[in-house]
Amino acid sequence: MFQHLRYQGAKVEVKSVPGDFTLRLLDLNNPDLVRYREGMLVMIQATEATRKKALDVLQGLTTLRSSGKTTGPHIDAAITQAEAEFQKVDTALRTLSGE
């Protein structure tokens, strides 16, 4: 199907005659579908930003522990919590993006 249609943002664009037929038959650019896809794109972007922040926190904590400036169960617990948060956001992003 990707040889006939492609996404340009939230809209579907035609690449061939069969693609044009499919676009019209399924009404792929009706306003409700376009709004839904726009919303999904916003959610994906927001989740990507959250994932980056979670990764930054995890890397910062890991660097702090590696430097020896802080040790013990508190830093280990913080790293465990940051890893769990990162995995949760990463899983959400994969789900939103269809992986």
Between the CA of residue 64 and those of 4, 29, 61, 77, 86, what are the distances in Å?
51, 50, 5, 13, 18
- Residue-level pLDDT at 38: 97
Model confidence pLDDT, tens digit, residues 10-27: 999 999 999 999 999 999
pTM: 0.81
Is the pLDDT confidence value at 96 over 80?
yes
Closest by Cα among 3, 72, 76, 25 to 14:
3
Model confidence pLDDT, tens digit, residues 25-76: 999 999 999 999 999 999 999 999 999 999 999 999 999 999 988 888 999 9
- Extract the tokens encoding 12: 């579907």
Q: Measured between alpha carbons, how far is 12 from 10 in angstroms, rounded to an integer?
A: 7
Beta-strand relationship, 11-14 and 5-8: antiparallel
